[in-house]
Amino acid sequence: MTAEIIDGKKIAAEIQAELKQRIANLQKKGVTPKIVPVLVGEDPASLSYLRGITRTCGEVGVATETAKLPADATQQDLLKKIDELNKDHNVHGILLFLPLPKHLNALEAESAISPAKDVDGTNPISAGKLLLGEETFFPSTPYGVKELLVRSGHSPEGKHVVIVGRSNIVGKPLMGILVQKDKGANATVTVCHTGTKDTAAFTRQADILVAAVGKAKAITADMVREGTVVIDVGVNFIPDPATGKNKQVGDVDFEAVKEKAAAITPVPGGTGAVTSTMLMANTVRAAEAAAGT
Ligand code: NAP
């Protein structure tokens, strides 16, 4: 069996088309959704993610203006900036880039973002609401995983979803999203991590397997049962002998696993293609809420 390839770019384009319609409706009321990424210092991965977000904002029609603080900014400087953005009625979404320089307290800064503008769901209030099944903004990466599954016709409802990885930005919120008694969720969820004694024994039981490990080719073909739907969240760079340069790969051994899976996301072009679009979706929702629609 060769797997169906779940096309993240196509699904992102579909979501973007829906968002453009909602933005047009907001603009009739004189509102343009706006997101402000907050970047302290010049972390290269954050700068690369920022370029992607800025591009997606341009494609969809969401306004954006990055708040850049120097690497030696104090905690007070950061909290003051977040407070300004919280009070600015033209700003609907605030995205704080991590990691922050070591002298800064990320949890305190995330907690300072107004929940109404917390479009990446990092404030502990948003995270708590997510777990309780209360309305909130889902963090963009796990939100994208849910949309990829539902929109590709592989709804998690009633399925056994095995997530490898329990980070606060991917594994844990995805568990919280998929376990809810909601449409497009309602799954039985298992979460594996480095404390799991035999991860393969769990991954082989998955109807849907989500890899959020952070290690190239961590999920090998022997860990996957025939017919599983595989979502690869990983972004890793490894040397490519063909070009002598680095190439982007996921956490799944794509070539081998695609021969067993029913469906699989590629890297690049899978989850990564959808993440920044989900940030736009949350920003549009925040703008709609602020505009009372
Ligand atoms: P992370 O914070 O490093 O977490 C990795 C998780 O994997 C941890 O929970 C770790 O367990 C677990 N793990 C590591 N090795 C394992 C193993 N051999 N067996 C079982 N579990 C293992 O990573 P992250 O931030 O969640 O990111 C995961 C991947 O997704 C990375 O490649 C990252 O670049 C990528 N990513 C992609 C997007 C996107 O938009 N597509 C967004 C964010 C991140 P412990 O908790 O026990 O250490």
Whether the CB-CB separation of 235 and 203 falls below 8 Å is answered with no
Q: For ligand 1, pick from 51, 193, 196, 282 the residue to mutate: most ligand atoms within 8 Å of CB.
A: 193
Is residue 128 included in any domain, yes or no?
no
User: What is the CATH number for 226?
Assistant: 3.40.50.720
**Residues 151 and 105 placed together within one structural domain of the fold:** no
**Residues 47 and 166 placed together within one structural domain of the fold:** no
Number of domains forming the structure of the chain: 2
**Residues 86 and 145 placed together within one structural domain of the fold:** no
Asked if residue 269 has its Cβ within 6 Å of ligand 1, the reply is no
Residue 288, H or E segment: helix 271-291
User: What is the CATH number for 101?
Assistant: 3.40.50.10860
pLDDT at 281: 98
Share above pLDDT 90 across residues of the chain, in percent, rounded to a whole number: 99
Is residue 93 included in any domain, yes or no?
yes
Q: For ligand 1, pick from 98, 210, 235, 249 the residue to mutate: most ligand atoms within 8 Å of CB.
A: 235
Is residue 8 included in any domain, yes or no?
no
**Residues 96 and 164 placed together within one structural domain of the fold:** no
Asked if residue 250 has its Cβ within 6 Å of ligand 1, the reply is no
Residue 152 tokens read as 């590709």
Render pLDDT for 115-159 as a digit per residue (tens, 0 to 9): 999 999 999 999 999 999 999 999 999 999 999 999 999 999 999
Looking at residues 38-60, what average pLDDT do you find? 96
Model pTM above 0.85: yes
Is residue 170 included in any domain, yes or no?
yes
Per-residue pLDDT at 1 exceeds 80? no
Instruction: Give the number of other Cβ atoms within 10 Å of residue 162's Cβ.
Output: 23
Please count the CA atoms within 13 angstroms of the CA of 219 that sit on its side-chain side.
37
pLDDT band at 244 (very low <50, low <70, confident <90, very high): very high
**Residues 149 and 259 placed together within one structural domain of the fold:** yes
**Ligand 1 closest atom vs CA 270:** 41
Class of residue 258 by CB neighbours under 10 A (exposed 0-12, middle 13-18, buried 19+): buried
**Residues 152 and 247 placed together within one structural domain of the fold:** yes
**Residues 176 and 105 placed together within one structural domain of the fold:** no
Looking at residues 238-252, what average pLDDT do you find? 95
pLDDT at 142: 98
Whether the CB-CB separation of 6 and 270 falls below 8 Å is answered with yes
Q: In terms of Cα–Cα distance, which of 188, 129, 120, 133 is closest to 160?
A: 188
**Residues 151 and 111 placed together within one structural domain of the fold:** no
Is residue 189 included in any domain, yes or no?
yes
**Residues 153 and 224 placed together within one structural domain of the fold:** yes
**Residues 103 and 66 placed together within one structural domain of the fold:** yes
Domain that holds residue 51: 32-115
**What is residue 39's three-state secondary structure?**
strand
Distance CA 208, CA 93 (A): 31
The mean pLDDT of the chain is: 97
Is residue 20 included in any domain, yes or no?
no
Looking at residues 166-177, what average pLDDT do you find? 98
Looking at residues 247-266, what average pLDDT do you find? 97
**Residues 92 and 162 placed together within one structural domain of the fold:** no
Render pLDDT for 75-126 as a digit per residue (tens, 0 to 9): 999 999 999 999 999 999 999 999 999 999 999 999 999 999 999 999 999 9
**Residues 160 and 111 placed together within one structural domain of the fold:** no
Whether the CB-CB separation of 96 and 67 falls below 8 Å is answered with no
Is residue 216 included in any domain, yes or no?
yes
Find the angle CA(23)-CA(25)-CA(31) to the nearest 5 degrees. 65
